[in-house]
Homo-oligomer: A and B are copies of this chain.
Amino acid sequence: MLLRSLHNPYSHRIQTRLASSVTEKAAETAEKATSTVTPQPRSRITHLLYRTLAGLGAFIVTCGGIVVAFFIYDATTYREDPESFDLQLSDLALNPRRGGPKNLPIAEYYVSDDEPEFRDQKHKPKLVILGTGWGSVPLLKTLVPGDYHVTVVSPSNHFLFTPMLPSATVGTLEFRSLVEPIRKIVRKAKAHFLKGSATDVDFSEKLVEVESYGANGEKQHFYLPYDKLVIGVGSITNPHGVKGLEHCHFLKSISDARKIRNQVIRNLESACLPTTSDEERRRLLSFVVSGGGPTGVEFAAELYDMLNEDLCKFYPRILRNEISVHVIQSRGHILNTYDEALSKYAEERLAHDMVDVQTNARVKEVQADKILFTQKDAESGKVVTKELPMGFCLWSTGVSQTEFCQKLANKLGDSQNNKHALETDTHLRLTGAPLGDVYAIGDCSTVQNNVSDHIITFLRTLAWEKGKDPEEMHISYNDWRNVAKRVKSRFPQATDHLRRLDRLFEQYDTDKSGTLDFGELSELLKQIDAKLTSLPATAQRANQQGIYLGRKLNALSRAAPGMRINMIADGDLDEAVYKAFSYKDMGSLAYIGNAAIFDLGGFNFGGGLLAVYLWRSIYFTQSVSLRTRMLLAMDWSKRALFGRDMMNY
Contacts and interface: CB of A to CB of B under 8 A. Distances in A.
A533 to B, nearest CB: 34
Given A253-B649, A313-B187, A609 B75 contact: yes
Interface stretch (A23-31, A425-433, A490-498, A580-588): A23-31
Interface stretch (A110-118, A374-382, A401-409, A452-460): A110-118
A317 B118 CA distance: 12
Contacts of A26: 3, 22-23, 25-26, 29
Contacts of A30: 25, 29
A531 interface: no
Nearest to A613: B71
Contacts of A6: 19-20, 23
Interface string A606-643: 00010001000000000001110011001011111110
B265 A157 contact: yes
A318 interface: yes
Nearest to A10: B16
Contacts of A89: 318
B157 A646 contact: yes
Contacts of A444: none
B93 A274 contact: yes
Copies of this protein in the complex: 2
A176 B564 CA distance: 56
A49 interface: no
Contacts of A3: 23-24, 26-27
A368 interface: yes
Contacts of A93: 274
A194 interface: yes
Interface string A436-470: 00000000000000000000000000000000000
Contact of A368 (B216, B254, B275, B276): B216
A385 interface: no
B266 A179 contact: no
Chain A contact-residue range equals: 35 or more
A239 interface: no
Contacts of A645: 176, 179, 181
A320 B85 CA distance: 8
Q: Which of A82, A174, A280, A283 has the most CB of B within 10 A?
A: A82
A216 B2 CA distance: 99
A494 B341 CA distance: 79
A314 B59 contact: no
A600 interface: no
Contact of A85 (B70, B78, B215, B321): B321
Given A112-B318, A272-B195, A280 B215 contact: yes
Nearest to A314: B183
6 contacts: A26-B29, A77-B309, A111-B274, A179-B647, A215-B281, A634-B634
